[in-house]
């Protein structure tokens, strides 16, 4: 269990979190769902120690999947991944699992948006982290590509069982990928539900849960 206790974060006079507490179950995919500006990214940055804060967050080795792939443009795919892992066999195996093995020598400019984000997912998994942080990782992708990457992501996750904290403002993404969904509002958790069925779930399915989450968000 990863325990966040009394987390407080302010930007000047603006209080984003005050004495916030959260337990993250290890080996599970937990989703933080909320509108833009509710503090989702701030929480990830604090966990990754990319921002100053008050409170108790354990020091955790993190990997990241961002909203955009953030690949080094003058390095090819293999070279980008070798920045976090020197094991080429492991890298090629991961690229194969993500259906982009043939892109190992390609530069980011020659990749589609979906392919580049698959490289980002590969980078997160080959890095030996304790916690995988995902910040709106599918928001720039069209529905078909998003569905494909979510399925591939979950297949890889089943093998590694990495603890994942995933933030999004998209209800369908939260339902598709998560085992536990939290709704965040003004630095507080206003909804917390563990789902009984196993992901991945079809985007747009589970209409009753979808309506329930939307009603909490509005």
pLDDT for residue 39: 85
Residue 202's pLDDT is what? 77
User: Does any domain span residue 79?
Assistant: no
Beta bridge partners of 71: none
Yes or no: say if 42 and 21 are a contact pair by the CB < 8 Å rule: no
Q: How much is the pTM?
A: 0.88
Residue 191: CATH number of its domain: 3.40.50.300
In this predicted structure, what is the pLDDT of residue 203?
77
Question: Quick check: is 80 in a domain?
Answer: no
Residue 85 lies in a domain: no
Q: How many structural domains are present in the chain? A: 1
CB 80 within 8 A of CB 123: yes
Cα–Cα distance for residue pair 72/159, rounded to 1 Å: 27
pLDDT at 193: 93
Separation of alpha carbons 213 and 77, rounded Å: 38
Distance, CA of 166 to chain centre? 4
> What per-residue confidence (pLDDT) applies to 38?
82
Q: Is residue 22 part of a domain?
A: yes
Q: How far apart are CA 176 and CA 60, in angstroms?
A: 26
83 domain-assigned: no
C-beta of residue 129 within 8 angstroms of C-beta of residue 162: yes
Mean pLDDT by 10 residues, the chain (218 residues): 94 92 94 86 93 94 90 96 94 92 95 91 92 88 83 85 91 90 92 86 82 89
Q: Which tokens go with 34?
A: 């909320």
Q: Which domain holds residue 161?
A: 2-61+129-217
From residue 34, give the alpha-carbon distance in Å to each of 38, 68, 158.
6, 19, 26
Q: State the sign of the Cα–Cα–Cα–Cα dihedral 163, 169, 170, 175.
A: positive
123 part of a folded domain: no
Contact at 8 Å (CB) between 7 and 19? yes
pLDDT of residue 10: 92
Residue 155, by phi and psi: left (phi above 0), alpha (psi -120 to 50) or beta? alpha
Q: Which of 7, 31, 3 is nearest to 166 (CA)?
A: 31
Residues facing 168 on adjacent strands: 33
pLDDT at 87: 93
């Amino acid at each position: 269990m990863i325990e966040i206790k009394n987390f407080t974060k302010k930007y000047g006079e603006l209080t984003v979190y005050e004495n916030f507490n959260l337990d993250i179950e290890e080996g599970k995919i937990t989703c933080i769902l909320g509108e833009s500006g509710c503090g989702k990214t701030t929480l990830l940055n604090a966990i990754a120690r990319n921002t100053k804060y008050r409170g108790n967050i354990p020091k955790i080795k993190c990997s990241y999947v961002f909203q955009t792939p953030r690949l080094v443009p003058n390095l090819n795919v293999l070279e980008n991944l070798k920045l976090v892992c020197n094991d080429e066999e492991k890298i090629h195996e991961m690229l194969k699992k993500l259906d982009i093995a043939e892109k190992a020598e390609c530069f980011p400019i020659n990749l589609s948006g979906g392919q580049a984000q698959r490289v980002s997912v590969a980078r997160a998994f080959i890095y030996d982290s304790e916690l995988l942080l995902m910040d709106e990782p599918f928001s720039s992708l069209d529905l078909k590509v998003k569905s494909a990457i979510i399925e591939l992501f979950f297949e890889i996750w089943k093998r590694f069982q990495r603890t994942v904290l995933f933030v999004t403002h998209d209800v369908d993404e939260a339902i598709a990928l998560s085992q536990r969904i939290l709704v965040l509002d003004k630095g507080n958790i206003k909804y917390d539900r563990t789902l009984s069925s196993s992901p991945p779930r079809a985007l747009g399915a589970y209409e009753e849960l979808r309506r329930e989450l939307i009603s909490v968000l509005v």
